[in-house]
Structure 1
Amino acid sequence: MNASPTEIVRVAAQLVNRGARLDMSALAADLGISRTTLFRRVGNREDLLGEALWLLSDRTMRGADRAWRTAHGDAVRDPGGGLRCLWIMARYRSAIAGHEGMRLLLAEEPVTAIRVLTDPGGRVQPRVIAAYTDLLDRDVDAGGFEPAVDVKTLAYAIVRLGETFLYSDVLASRSPDLAALGTLVGRLVDQGL
């Protein structure tokens, strides 16, 4: 098999999704390539783990966006007045918090998981910030709200705040509190905290 980088990332994402440990030697053997070829195509284990986590995150974010469109079409606010971007972000965070593979990764490899998920120069955090920036921009452009700060700064703040709450069990020995996070993000975005 001549596994492409895209195929390698997809297989790695399947492993993470199932809660299996990402073992580079076993993955190379399963794909029928050498470890050297695997590393040449996708980088080291943390690089591949970051790409796999981003693939799962991107799918989750797109799923949340589709769910909004199914429920509310192109509306910027739901019937209760909630902003589309906040609803999508909350659904995304809830899915991430409840993802069994993610929870296992955080429990079994907390240092690696946090480093890969929150590295500002890594494969996950900058892309989540960009995705949040797009969601916020879309609602600003549609006249949904006027942010108190520029959208990129707001997206950065939301992501960092979200990381603090989502991974609080690892970072601060506290249970993740998505309700408190949702309240804080809502105030930050829609009421200019």
Structure 2
Amino acid sequence: MSSATAALARARETFARGERVEMGPLADSLEVNRVTLYRWVGNREDLLAELLWERMKRGLDRLDARVRRAGSTGADRLTQVILGFFAAAGHGSPERAFVDREPALAMRVMTAGPVHDRLIAWFTAAIEEEATAGTVAPLHPPAQIADIVVRSGEAVFWFDRASGRGIDRDNLIVILSALCPATAPQ
């Protein structure tokens, strides 16, 4: 196992237990200094972004497969995935432990930089796939719609976190059906 791989694996285990990932203890556990660890994985925010994206990507892919097996397509598929995705980061998850423990850092890592960009890319590909299948007719470029959808999902997630009022499913459904109206299956 390469050094960066070992560092990611150890950090992944710590994060999955819902514990705080710290660079000093991580370097100590790998018997390297912090400078070496930083060379391998970047700074703490870079490492957390990578850990979060790994978990998010696996969750998105699993959720999407389940939604597809149930026969959902078009805006319905996209809505179920985005709602399920943000709901999965609920109480008891390592992501929620991170959000509860370090809300400002979690918001920065999750809504800016590579995590946000990768979420937009994932949803762009899903919208393009549905458009190619003829199940939606996007009214704007898929990347622009994906950006709006992801930002809306993030707003819902963070509003729920701040208010405790729950996810507003109806607004996300309205946004997706307005931007990606259904077409007749071909």
Into which bin does the TM-score normalised by the smaller protein fall?
A: 0.7 to 0.9
Question: Which of 68, 73, 90 is residue 76 of structure 1 equivalent to?
Answer: 73
**Residue segments in structure 1 that go unaligned for 5+ positions in a row:** none
Measure how far apart 1:86 and its partner are.
2.0
1:17 alignment partner in structure 2: 16
Deviation string, structure 1 residues 136-164 (Cα, Å, up to 9, x no partner): 11111111111222211110011111111
CA 1:52–1:26 in structure 2 vs 1: closer, same or farther (change >3 Å)?
Answer: same
Determine the C-alpha separation between the residues in 2 that align with 1:86 and 1:62.
14
Deviations 1:54-109 (A, max 9, x none): 1111111111122124333xx625xxxx6222222222222123452122211211
Corresponding position of 1:106: 99
Instruction: Provide the secondary structure at the position in 1 that maps to 2:164.
Output: coil
The alpha-carbon distance between structure 1 residues 3 and 24, as it changes in their structure 2 partners (threshold 3 A), is: farther
Counterpart residue number, 2:132: 141
In the TM superposition, 1:21-32 aligns within 5 A as: 21-32=20-31
3-state secondary structure, aligned to 2:64 = helix
Show structure 2 runs of 5+ residues with no match: 181-186
Q: TM-score, normalised by structure 2?
A: 0.86
* Pick aligned residue for 1:185 from 172, 175, 184: 172
Aligned partner of 1:160: which letter?
A: R
1:124 to 115, 129, 135: 115
Residue 11 of structure 1 and its aligned partner are, at CA, apart by 2.9
For the structure 1 residues 42 and 150, does the alpha-carbon distance in structure 2 shift closer, same or farther, using more than 3 Å as the test?
same
CA shift in 2, pair 1:33/1:132, >3 Å: same
Cα distance in structure 2, aligned partners of 1:142 and 1:76: 9
Number of equivalent positions: 180
Which portions of structure 1, spanning 4 or more consecutive aligned residues, are displaced by more than 3 angstroms? none
Q: Which moved more, 1:41-50 or 1:140-149?
A: 140-149
For the structure 1 residues 65 and 169, does the alpha-carbon distance in structure 2 shift closer, same or farther, using more than 3 Å as the test? Answer: closer
- Alignment check: 8 A CA contact 2:83 2:153 kept: no
User: Superposition RMSD on alpha carbons, in Å?
Assistant: 2.1
The equivalent of 1:87 in structure 2 is 80
Match of 2:149 in 1: 158
Q: Percent identity?
A: 29
Higher relative contact order (CA 8 A, sep 6+): 2
TM (norm. structure 1) is: 0.83
Match runs of 1:37-56 below 5 Å: 37-56=36-55
Distance 1:185 1:169, change over 3 A: closer
